[in-house]
Amino acid sequence: MKLLIASRSRAKQREIRALFEGTGLELTFPQDLNLPPSPEEERLETGETFEANARAKAEYFARKVFLPTVADDSGLEVFSLGGDPGVRSKRWSGVTGTDAEVDAANNAYLLRRLLGAAPERRRARYRCAVAYLPEPRAVAQIFEGSCTGEILTAPIGDRGFGYDPLFLSDDLGKSFGQATTDEKDQVSHRGRAFAALLRNLTGAP
């Protein structure tokens, strides 16, 4: 089966390709189908929940290409900050630019918000919602995953993307910025959400 993965993030695309490796499912991405970004697409991630944003992206792209479509939305929730940045994780600092510039600005802003905070105020979790539409008129199926950790006082590691160098994983005992792709995939919010999707698609236990 051929699936459209409705993401333009190169870093996220690499992770998702790895998650689907060996499944026999064929992945395609918006750039493979010559789908240019549009103002309408830019307005899709305005929901109040990860599920709403994932659903909106899946529905938009499924109508464009008439392929089974998968979309996800994910982010970091810091408990002492009332769940921020949450659904605004990518745009939290308000900075625009390259992915690397935006990531650096968001990480710097997070460090400022938690400056001097005790370890118990640095508790956080990553969350991910994946929406799957077998065809445009279907009701999206939602699969979710999460993982917990602590926000470090300085970034460690140069792997991953987003807040990964600041997220000390409870499962791994290291930051996601230090983790290999395989290590992260086993325990990450995205890895767990996509694992649930794949069990549904392939019938695997």
What residues act catalytically? 73
79 neighbors 124 (Cβ within 8 angstroms) = yes
Residue 11 has a pLDDT of 87
Name the amino acid, one letter, at 166.
Answer: L
Tokens of residue 174, six digits: 């290291």
For residues 158 and 204, give the distance between their C-alpha atoms in angstroms, rounded to a whole number: 33
Note down pLDDT in tens along the chain; length 205 residues. Answer: 999 999 998 889 999 999 999 999 999 999 999 999 888 888 888 899 999 999 999 999 999 999 999 999 999 999 999 999 999 999 999 999 999 999 999 999 999 999 999 999 999 999 999 999 999 999 999 999 999 999 999 999 999 999 999 999 999 999 999 999 999 999 999 999 999 999 999 876 6
pLDDT at position 203 is: 77
Between CA 31 and CA 190 the distance in angstroms is 21
Confirm if 22 and 99 have CB atoms less than 8 A apart: no
Question: Is the distance from CB of 85 to CB of 92 less than 8 angstroms?
Answer: yes
User: Cβ contacts of residue 67 below 8 Å, gap of 6+?
Assistant: 2, 3, 4, 28
- On whether the CB atoms of residues 164 and 175 are closer than 8 A, the answer is yes
Question: Which domains does the chain carry?
Answer: 2-202 (3.90.950.10)
The helix (run of H) or strand (run of E) holding residue 141 is strand 141-151
Q: How many other C-beta atoms lie within 10 A of the C-beta of residue 154?
A: 8
CA–CA separation, 178 vs 159, rounded Å? 6
Contact of 193 with 145, CB cutoff 8 Å: yes
pTM across the whole model = 0.92
Residues for the chain: how many in total? Answer: 205
Rg over alpha carbons for the chain, rounded to the nearest Å, is 17
Q: What is the pLDDT of residue 190?
A: 96
